[in-house]
Amino acid sequence: MRRLNNSIEALAHSYLVQGIVNRSGGGALPNRESIMSILLGLNELLFPGFGGLEDLSHDLRLITGEQVYHVARDLMREVEKSVAFSSRKGGRFSCGKEGCRAAAELMVEDFFEELPKIRGALILDMEAAFKGDPAAKSIEEVLLSYPGFEAVMAHRLAHFFWIREVPFIPRMMSELVHSRTGIDIHPGARIGGSFFIDHGTGVVIGETTIIGNNVKLYQGVTLGALSVKKDEADLKRHPTIEDDVTIYSGATILGGGTVIGRGSVIGGNVWLTKPVPPYTMVYNNAGNQVIREQRADNTR
Amino acid sequence: MRRLNNSIEALAHSYLVQGIVNRSGGGALPNRESIMSILLGLNELLFPGFGGLEDLSHDLRLITGEQVYHVARDLMREVEKSVAFSSRKGGRFSCGKEGCRAAAELMVEDFFEELPKIRGALILDMEAAFKGDPAAKSIEEVLLSYPGFEAVMAHRLAHFFWIREVPFIPRMMSELVHSRTGIDIHPGARIGGSFFIDHGTGVVIGETTIIGNNVKLYQGVTLGALSVKKDEADLKRHPTIEDDVTIYSGATILGGGTVIGRGSVIGGNVWLTKPVPPYTMVYNNAGNQVIREQRADNTR
Amino acid sequence: MRRLNNSIEALAHSYLVQGIVNRSGGGALPNRESIMSILLGLNELLFPGFGGLEDLSHDLRLITGEQVYHVARDLMREVEKSVAFSSRKGGRFSCGKEGCRAAAELMVEDFFEELPKIRGALILDMEAAFKGDPAAKSIEEVLLSYPGFEAVMAHRLAHFFWIREVPFIPRMMSELVHSRTGIDIHPGARIGGSFFIDHGTGVVIGETTIIGNNVKLYQGVTLGALSVKKDEADLKRHPTIEDDVTIYSGATILGGGTVIGRGSVIGGNVWLTKPVPPYTMVYNNAGNQVIREQRADNTR
Amino acid sequence: MRRLNNSIEALAHSYLVQGIVNRSGGGALPNRESIMSILLGLNELLFPGFGGLEDLSHDLRLITGEQVYHVARDLMREVEKSVAFSSRKGGRFSCGKEGCRAAAELMVEDFFEELPKIRGALILDMEAAFKGDPAAKSIEEVLLSYPGFEAVMAHRLAHFFWIREVPFIPRMMSELVHSRTGIDIHPGARIGGSFFIDHGTGVVIGETTIIGNNVKLYQGVTLGALSVKKDEADLKRHPTIEDDVTIYSGATILGGGTVIGRGSVIGGNVWLTKPVPPYTMVYNNAGNQVIREQRADNTR
Amino acid sequence: MRRLNNSIEALAHSYLVQGIVNRSGGGALPNRESIMSILLGLNELLFPGFGGLEDLSHDLRLITGEQVYHVARDLMREVEKSVAFSSRKGGRFSCGKEGCRAAAELMVEDFFEELPKIRGALILDMEAAFKGDPAAKSIEEVLLSYPGFEAVMAHRLAHFFWIREVPFIPRMMSELVHSRTGIDIHPGARIGGSFFIDHGTGVVIGETTIIGNNVKLYQGVTLGALSVKKDEADLKRHPTIEDDVTIYSGATILGGGTVIGRGSVIGGNVWLTKPVPPYTMVYNNAGNQVIREQRADNTR
Amino acid sequence: MRRLNNSIEALAHSYLVQGIVNRSGGGALPNRESIMSILLGLNELLFPGFGGLEDLSHDLRLITGEQVYHVARDLMREVEKSVAFSSRKGGRFSCGKEGCRAAAELMVEDFFEELPKIRGALILDMEAAFKGDPAAKSIEEVLLSYPGFEAVMAHRLAHFFWIREVPFIPRMMSELVHSRTGIDIHPGARIGGSFFIDHGTGVVIGETTIIGNNVKLYQGVTLGALSVKKDEADLKRHPTIEDDVTIYSGATILGGGTVIGRGSVIGGNVWLTKPVPPYTMVYNNAGNQVIREQRADNTR
């Protein structure tokens, strides 16, 4: 296996020449495993026992203290790296080593102060899921086994960092839960209270989407953009969903001006690029399907 | 970072006030990590080597003994917690501490006696996958790399507990494999022999679905409900798929009375809310699409 | 729990009788965990830091050396098992114990020599993603949080082994990343440069698909087969996508003769089974949808 | 291997009949692994970085917070079990479930308040080691590689619990460091400031030993009891070593009345059962050895 | 770091040339980590909870079943390797691949049948420790924190394999516990009931030692050989200690004919190479020590 | 548990005030866990399989490559920290950040070039152990279960760094194996070929000891210093043992001028502070012991 030594040289050389090696050229980037560990730690802090901790009866306060410090430490490190990147690239932050650290510290403290409020919002989401799914036998079942709830939990955490313009971390959180649930919510999306996604695989919610209260989505729903031009990145490219709307599986709703009015119902597989007034029902006319007898073909 | 100490207090306080902390107020709930470990252990017992065990040549019986005892222990604990929850909430079980334990023990023993039969069914599923996919090069490849097979394996295990009305565990098993495969089969669904799901991402199979023998589904198929009223939760809300039916990708079939007759073929993206007689082919008429030349737009 | 001992016997017996136990009857099969570890190791080698390694500043060359040897060892073992399986089943390889080992060694050396080239292709894919997504804030963000990029990375690795007819390993790599991203690219697909999949959940790309340069896909796109007959497995069953094509979410394109001409744009949810000339735009006519006011129904 | 099932029954039966199974019959005992983890955690808290933590530069306070909560939680659990045992056996504590918990909580809080003081004492021990060993190149070397220092660190922690009559925990701490260093200090021993043990293997310091300031011991020194009668367990059975005494390797000093006066030096292998006045040197007369030429024997 | 590649070649070459690489040239040897894991597993089986298992209350029988199978599997593998080594080297065993496996299987079954008896002996040892040490506060303390007890536990297990002439395994067990306790008992030593070693560091008990019932040793005691000639390896080279003997710390007793008669007491640091009649006390005359005043020297 | 927060503050404060916190104030120190991992990795490189690696048959060269790179990386980091410490404290090294790194790199390369030679010396030590211990049944047994061999292996590695004046690392290696074996060899000791320590607990070999070829020691032997004055640290303070000497258990040999002449035998428990001519036997006269009948006392 002597040729391996040449491959080692070639790879090391390629890191120099092509230059996109992670963590070189000015500073480290956030660490995927660390962000995952932070996200799982926060789930556990929001709902102790969620991630597998046992025996919480007596010493819940000690566990909480330990977890807060532990997650704070990891988070501070990742936020600091992200803020420093922002500063290097001329983003929102502009700070030297100490200043970036101080900014990270402040942000982490703010974040933990916000956590009980996020927890309150999530409890409403949980209740919405219980009410919205006839198959749900108890509210505890939502906590333990609903991917839609897990995705919304990650979103409410990621959104905190998005609106403060921290690079990387919100997107990494979103993608981690996208990988686990098949639900892809951009951390920039603004989502109201009592939000529920059922089944969820294939759901995509774009960066500038606005969602009201008591909205319910099913699997495969896309809330996307019509335009994909890079220079329109700052515009509102994704739809607005008002309160009390339900959108069934596979529906596609595109465009920044596409407002789904309050109380509307969008049927499965519907394709929408224009606004819909309040209290409207939109559904596909299934008449365009061909039905014929067949015998021989289904050999499989 | 002194503000962290306040956040610790605030979180600990929120656990008391809002009261939905997992594992408080009467008893522990099943543990997600433990259910995952049980599911992986059962996969290994059904197909030794599936999960990565090496060197099975000589001592397969010793490994089997160890795994049976190991999984039985974990399972007993989780079943006991679930049965106790059922009893607290006035579910099917009504038992004190010892009685719930005895019920759990009995159920675990029953379950292990059923395992060889489940294994037999899974071998037929594997063969169906091999026959149904032209890309499958060998039956071993199905075992090692077909997510549809992995999802059906979890379903046949979860269904055992579902029909015995054990809370949480069947749904948690379903969601674990949903997370890994994008295939969401409710543990209540009744599925016949030689079942095959190809690719599978986005498949949803509802709680009261009934599926016959030799059925084949592709990615993105929904077998769902029309009604989502909570008070209709006990009705048959999802379709019935008879023997020898094939349903292509993205088809949506809704409603408890929607019976797809034996030997039918449902085309891709078809939307069905009414019964289809046996040996019928249903497909979309693609004629409603607009095709026009374009040049300038595809700037991306 | 004495009945457990009977279950141990019954399971051990079932392994003998039904005979599909992994790793018995002639030789071991590749190990899922090992393939996953290889894939993660290769990601790290392609983009040091990708998987979480810290502190790469000084000793990148030492880490590279260690990783190359480590991955080479694991890979050699798995390739050898796969080659031996191929030989037993009359596949491309025909070798005894020593010969299969030598073939595995040669292939692993070839593979590592190819790695820098694969890395070069992936850097182009990364740039394509950055250009193609208005929401992408930096090219580093693509590396850290784009599932489409992760799926293409796995594909370019898996494809190396596919074209050399190594059983199992390419499919297992594809499925591992399918599980993480919801993107199912058959390792046989031939994919050109600067390829980008956005969001990605539900994408299926079949075995004989051919994709040109600068192609962009969105979530839920299927590039599939019309025929599912086992005896047509060797034909070209999946479409050809020429350079500079964009395919929006949920589009389904089927058939080996279905060529999407250069520069075309395929709209969301479009269903195509016939060729499309270059520079063509195909989209659904949304006119077939029913919109009506509704009030009482949306009780949820 | 069917006989194994019989062995399982026989072992399970023996647990019932012979009845000394740990954790049955009234309550759990402290957990060895947990005590070890507590001890290592405390070492890390006393001297951050001692046990391997890296990157302490910035976030030392966050790490400290996490570690204090983490160790406090583990310690509370083990102290509670020990206090409950004491109560069951009629020891110092007499408490019900809640009372024992409260006693444990109080003790843990006291303990952490004491830690900075213990840290102060250990810094003096470290300096004594540096001064006392010509081979010590730096004070940091003592911290990183002196088993005598590690043993004294464990002793000062264990002694806290011993004087509060907590069963098990002090002895378990002592034995853990005995296992690592070969130095066996009973947690009851009262040890003054600036204490140093060099090399240390084989040192035994008994329960009622009293040691002054600036004492130095070498390997193999025994400070033991003359009497081993069970009914004399409460008497002072072990010697008193006054300030500024040095005891060389292998010396044995026995008996509760054996006081080694201030400033004395006890030579290697000396055997002492009687008091020695201050500023005395005791050593073996080496004259009783036989020296003769030999040739043939040393064949080995 | 290019010179590393040369070092890799040189090391690989040295493995070929000097030829003592473990596991090459004919067969694997037992694995140190595996033997350690077996030993810890057996400790746990003998005294459930010993090694840290929690929550044994309900499912002790399931844990026992799992542990027996687990340890049996590991043990079988290691015994088989050892028996095969014995066969290759012309030792007691003479067997081919299948025969060695069968011999290992039989031996492991015998061993587990013996375990309850070994457990009975250890309970007597535990009681002897409690009675023999005035510092022992409870019998549970012996179980949790007496290294002498841990060493005897390992010895009684190792001795089982020694008398069946299994190579490596008994010595490896002895050395593992020697490393943890500083007590070096050769697995060939024959030790009676109710045996107790206090403190224990430095104790050495040779291969052909015979020890009666109710014997008590202190730290640093050597029961060794006078002769170290290789060709006398089969003779009785180590002493015989009759019932009810106590040997204090540092005593050295050498020679195969050196019988310490029943009920005798051997004092600390005594050196014995000749038999001692029953009920005899042997101790050092401390008279040969020099005591003089000193002032200036103890500068340290 | 609110008092814990005060304790966190107090500890954090104590780190500032007392100032000996590891890794603050100028630079990190070597990491104990890392040194342990390096030592175990080197053992594995010297004797593949020693530490538990299985399945070395085919891919030994790949494993060797991986291990060399892995250990080199860890070692480089620790050596660099040590060299930088030396430079800060005015030790042998005087270098800036880059220079210290370069020095570390050079030293690691030198070290790996030396490894095959160290391996050669260890094979001779192994043979000496086999010849010197009548209880040794095979040379493989020495490799797998002789603590004396393990200690010498660590010494020959540590000594490499000692003679190059690298701080910390050699002492940490010595202490790690001291902890495992009870054998305390200062890394400065110069030890000839074919060296064997039997049993070994309690052996101490001082910094300036010189040992010739074919020397054999037993447990409890001290080769120590007479003087413990700090200002004599650079003198030869420990004895010289010439070729072919055997020293029995418990012997104490002190002083830099104490030369034990070639071929001599030092008996058990002998105390020597003066030179002994070649081919001399020194042993204790056991005549000074008191033997009397006893009955009543041995109550224990």
Judge: E59–B77 Cβ closer than 8 Å, yes or no. Answer: yes
Whether residues C120 and C196 share a domain: the answer is no
Contacts with B61 from chain D: Cβ below 8 Å? 1
Q: Which of E6, E23, E161, E247 to mutate to test the interface with F (most CBs of F within 10 A)?
A: E23
User: Cα(B149)–Cα(D151) distance, rounded to whole angstroms?
Assistant: 57
Q: Which of C56, C77, C144, C294 to mutate to test the interface with A (most CBs of A within 10 A)?
A: C144
D68 CA: distance to closest CA in chain A (Å): 8
Name residue A223's beta-bridge partners: A205, A253
* Nearest C-alpha in B relative to C24: B57
- Its sign, for the CA torsion F184, F187, F190, F193, is positive
pLDDT in tens, D115-150: 999 999 999 999 999 999 988 988 889 999 999 999
Q: Is residue D15 part of a domain?
A: no
Q: For E65, which of B59, B69, B76 is closest by C-beta distance? A: B69
Nearest to E149 by CA among E115, E197, E204, E114: E197
Picking from C182, C213, C231, the residue at the C-terminal end of a domain is C182
CATH number assigned to the domain comprising residue A256: 2.160.10.10
Contacts with F61 from chain A: Cβ below 8 Å? 1
User: Cα(B87)–Cα(F145) distance, rounded to whole angstroms?
Assistant: 56
One-letter identity of residue E34: S
pLDDT > 70: what percent of chain E? 88
Judge: E70–B73 Cβ closer than 8 Å, yes or no. Answer: no
Nearest to A129 by CA among A156, A153, A155, A159: A153
DSSP secondary structure, B205-231, as one string: E-TT-EE-SS-EE-TT-EEE-S---GG
Q: Is residue F256 part of a domain?
A: yes
CATH number assigned to the domain comprising residue E30: 1.10.3130.10
Q: For D1, which of B1, B4, B62 is closest by C-beta distance? A: B62
Contacts with C170 from chain B: Cβ below 8 Å? none
Q: Is residue D154 part of a domain?
A: yes
Whether residues D220 and D112 share a domain: the answer is no
Query: What string of pLDDT tens digits covers the 300 residues of chain A?
Result: 678 888 888 888 888 766 555 544 456 788 889 999 999 999 999 988 776 666 555 678 898 999 999 999 999 999 999 999 999 889 999 999 889 999 999 999 999 999 999 999 999 999 999 999 988 988 889 999 999 999 999 999 999 999 999 999 999 999 999 999 999 999 999 999 999 999 999 999 999 999 999 999 999 999 999 866 777 778 899 999 999 999 999 999 999 999 999 999 999 889 899 999 999 999 876 656 677 765 544 433
Mean residue pLDDT of chain E comes to 89
Q: How confident is the model at residue B260 (pLDDT cuts 50, 70, 90)?
A: very high
Judge: C69–F65 Cβ closer than 8 Å, yes or no. Answer: yes
HEC readout, A91-157: CCCCCCHHHHHHHHHHHHHHHHHHHHHHHHHHHHHHHHHHHHCCCCCCHHHHHHHCHHHHHHHHHHH
pLDDT in tens, F205-261: 999 999 999 999 999 999 999 866 777 778 899 999 999 999 999 999 999 999 999
Q: How confident is the model at residue E296 (pLDDT cuts 50, 70, 90)?
A: very low
F12 CA: distance to closest CA in chain E (Å): 32
Q: What residue ranges in chain F does DSSP mark as E strands?
A: 184-185, 190-191, 196-197, 204-205, 210-211, 216-217, 222-224, 240-241, 246-247, 252-254, 259-260, 265-266, 271-272, 280-284, 289-293
Contacts with B252 from chain A: Cβ below 8 Å? 249-250, 268-269
Contacts with F1 from chain A: Cβ below 8 Å? 61-62, 65
Q: Which of B1, B9, B64 to mutate to test the interface with D (most CBs of D within 10 A)?
A: B1
The pLDDT score that the predictor gives to residue B180 is 96
Q: Which of D165, D226, D228, D253 to mutate to test the interface with E (most CBs of E within 10 A)?
A: D228
Query: What string of pLDDT tens digits covers the 300 residues of chain C?
Result: 678 888 888 888 888 765 555 544 456 788 889 999 999 999 989 988 776 666 555 678 898 999 999 999 999 999 999 999 999 889 999 999 889 999 999 999 999 999 999 999 999 999 999 999 988 988 889 999 999 999 999 999 999 999 999 999 999 999 999 999 999 999 999 999 999 999 999 999 999 999 999 999 999 999 999 866 777 778 899 999 999 999 999 999 999 999 999 999 999 889 899 999 999 999 876 556 677 766 544 433
* Nearest C-alpha in D relative to B63: D1
Judge: E230–F286 Cβ closer than 8 Å, yes or no. Answer: no
Q: Is residue B3 part of a domain?
A: no
Whether residues E56 and E150 share a domain: the answer is yes
Q: Which two tokens stand for residue C42?
A: 């290769």
Judge: A69–D69 Cβ closer than 8 Å, yes or no. Answer: yes
Q: Is residue C37 part of a domain?
A: yes
pLDDT in tens, F165-206: 999 999 999 999 999 999 999 999 999 999 999 999 999 999
pLDDT in tens, F69-117: 999 999 999 999 999 999 988 989 999 988 999 999 999 999 999 999 9
Whether residues E152 and E232 share a domain: the answer is no
- Its sign, for the CA torsion A277, A281, A287, A293, is positive
Q: For C1, which of E1, E4, E62 is closest by C-beta distance? A: E62
One-letter identity of residue F61: R
Judge: A1–C219 Cβ closer than 8 Å, yes or no. Answer: no
Q: For C62, which of F63, F69, F101 is closest by C-beta distance? A: F69
pLDDT in tens, D15-46: 876 655 554 445 678 888 999 999 999 998 99
Question: Subunits touching F (CB < 8 Å, at least 3 pairs)?
Answer: A, C, D, E
Spell out the alpha helix ranges (H) of chain E: 3-18, 32-46, 60-88, 97-132, 139-145, 147-162, 169-181
Contacts with D62 from chain B: Cβ below 8 Å? 1
Whether residues D227 and D178 share a domain: the answer is no
Specify the residue for token string 């890296």: D54
Specify the residue for token string 């049996």: E72
Whether residues F31 and F178 share a domain: the answer is yes
Specify the residue for token string 């070209």: C236
Judge: A70–D66 Cβ closer than 8 Å, yes or no. Answer: yes
User: Cα(A264)–Cα(E210) distance, rounded to whole angstroms?
Assistant: 91
Q: Which two tokens stand for residue E127?
A: 């009681």
pLDDT > 70: what percent of chain D? 88
Contacts with E51 from chain D: Cβ below 8 Å? 32-33
Q: Which of E2, E5, E8, E289 to mutate to test the interface with F (most CBs of F within 10 A)?
A: E8
Whether residues B214 and B179 share a domain: the answer is no
pLDDT in tens, F136-154: 988 889 999 999 999 999 9
Whether residues E175 and E42 share a domain: the answer is yes
Q: For D1, which of B1, B4, B61 is closest by C-beta distance? A: B61
Number of C to E CB contacts under 8 A, please give it.
8
Q: Is residue A8 part of a domain?
A: no
Picking from B184, B209, B227, the residue at the C-terminal end of a domain is B184
What letter does residue E274 receive in the DSSP assignment?
A: S
User: Cα(E230)–Cα(F108) distance, rounded to whole angstroms?
Assistant: 41
* Nearest C-alpha in D relative to F171: D145
The domain of A100 spans 22-182
Answer yes or no: is pLDDT of F25 > 70. no
B198 CA: distance to closest CA in chain A (Å): 13
Judge: E65–B63 Cβ closer than 8 Å, yes or no. Answer: no
Contacts with F33 from chain D: Cβ below 8 Å? 51-52
Rama region for B26: left / alpha / beta (φ>0; ψ in -120 to 50; rest): left
Q: Is residue A300 part of a domain?
A: no
Whether residues C208 and C177 share a domain: the answer is no
Least confident span in B215-219, F22-26, F72-76 = F22-26
Q: Is residue E147 part of a domain?
A: yes
Of C33 and D156, the structure prediction assigns the larger pLDDT to: D156
pLDDT in tens, E15-36: 876 655 554 445 678 888 999 9
Whether residues A38 and A178 share a domain: the answer is yes
Picking from B184, B203, B221, the residue at the C-terminal end of a domain is B184
One-letter identity of residue F153: M
Q: How confident is the model at residue D48 (pLDDT cuts 50, 70, 90)?
A: confident
Whether residues A72 and A216 share a domain: the answer is no
- ipTM, 2 dp: 0.92
Whether residues B170 and B194 share a domain: the answer is no
C172 CA: distance to closest CA in chain B (Å): 5
* pTM over the 0.90 mark: yes
Contacts with E271 from chain F: Cβ below 8 Å? 268-269, 284, 286, 289
Give the CA distances from residue E141 to residues C3, D238, E218, F256, in Å, rounded to whole numbers and listed in that order: 37, 21, 18, 45
Q: For E271, which of F69, F146, F269 is closest by C-beta distance? A: F269
Contacts with F289 from chain E: Cβ below 8 Å? 270-272, 282-285
Q: For B12-38, what is the mean pLDDT?
A: 73
The pLDDT score that the predictor gives to residue C92 is 93
Q: How many domains does chain E have?
A: 2
